[in-house]
Structure 1
């Protein structure tokens, strides 16, 4: 993901529960500009909304679970 050509991001990790918008809404905004950006949703909720096709990291999580989720998300995007 680039921001004015200066910053790049390998992966976006967002929480589902945030003020003013959900992580799924945020992911939609990111994907509107950067459709191939890998995005990982962290959530303690039992389910994400229907039709959401994003990798999920269940909370609470430890370092091992985080590492596995990041690796799987990046590999799924060929990175």
Structure 2
């Protein structure tokens, strides 16, 4: 699996396009120094049949340890 690191300014975004042509659009809403707790805020637009989950919810529901990317049973994820 590949990865990509992007830099975006507030109100700039990017698309994730599936092989099927379905698109997910993600836009930065606020810069880090403008939020109260130093977090970034995003707007995500995706088809209704896509699930959008925070990392901790995804890893928890799939039996993964979000910090080490190991399963709770000791195996590694792909």
* TM-score computed with the length of structure 1 as normaliser: 0.24
Q: Which has the larger radius of gyration?
A: 2
Q: Which has the higher contact order (CA 8 A, sep 6+)?
A: 1
* TM-score computed with the length of structure 2 as normaliser: 0.24
